[in-house]
Amino acid sequence: MDILLATSNPHKLIEVKAILEPLGFTVIGLDAFEDTYAEPVEDADTFMGNAELKAKGYAKMTNVRCLADDSGLVVDAIDGRPGIHSARFAGVGETRDERDEANNQLLLTELAGVPDQDRTARFVCAMCLAEPNGTIVAQSEGTFEGVIAREPSGANGFGYDPLFYVPDAGVTSAEMSSEEKHSRSHRGNALRSIAKHLSQ
């Protein structure tokens, strides 16, 4: 069964394929279509609201069952920011890598005076699966708890992964193997719930 993952982020596509394809699903990205589709406006004020908008929008546009996620980093010491604005937190950068670098630098700046014990944070991933007619058939939410490190470390992730330290693992998310990250991450947790629905 084909499932469209509503993302142009190659890192997300790799993560989702690693979890769903062993279960017998073929995961395709937006780049599988010759047409360029206008990205649905993500103007909801929650992760799940934005995931729903993307899933419904792309499912209707492509006529393919669509899985969409909205993910972000929630940092307790700065009132839950960057939250739903995680990807564009700093508001600068031409490329994805430049935006990631700027976002990480801004986060470190905002947390400069915050002691280690107050740097708690979590990644949140809301996922939504929609049929081509726009009907939502499954939703899930996963979280991944950690703290914000004082400097980036690791190269196996993207976004805020180099700053997201996982105390019980003793490494940042970007220092984990792909297998360990998939078994612990917010996206992995949300995906496993969706996979159970798909397998019924």
Give the three-class secondary structure for 171.
Answer: strand
- Which segments within 45-194 are labelled E, that is strand? 66-75, 120-130, 136-148, 164-166, 171-172
**Residue 42 backbone dihedrals phi, psi, to 5 degrees:** -95, 85
List the catalytic residue out of 69, 70, 100, 161. Answer: 70
Quick check: is 69 catalytic? no
Angle at the Cα of 120 (from 89 to 44), degrees rounded to 5?
A: 40
Residues 6+ apart with CB under 8 A from 91: 102
Task: Copy the structure tokens of residue 127.
Answer: 């996922």
User: Are the CB atoms for 150 and 162 separated by under 8 Å?
Assistant: no
| 78 vs 114: CA distance, rounded Å | 10
| 101 close to 156: Cβ distance less than 8 angstroms | no
3-state secondary structure of 160: coil
Name the residues annotated as catalytic. Answer: 70
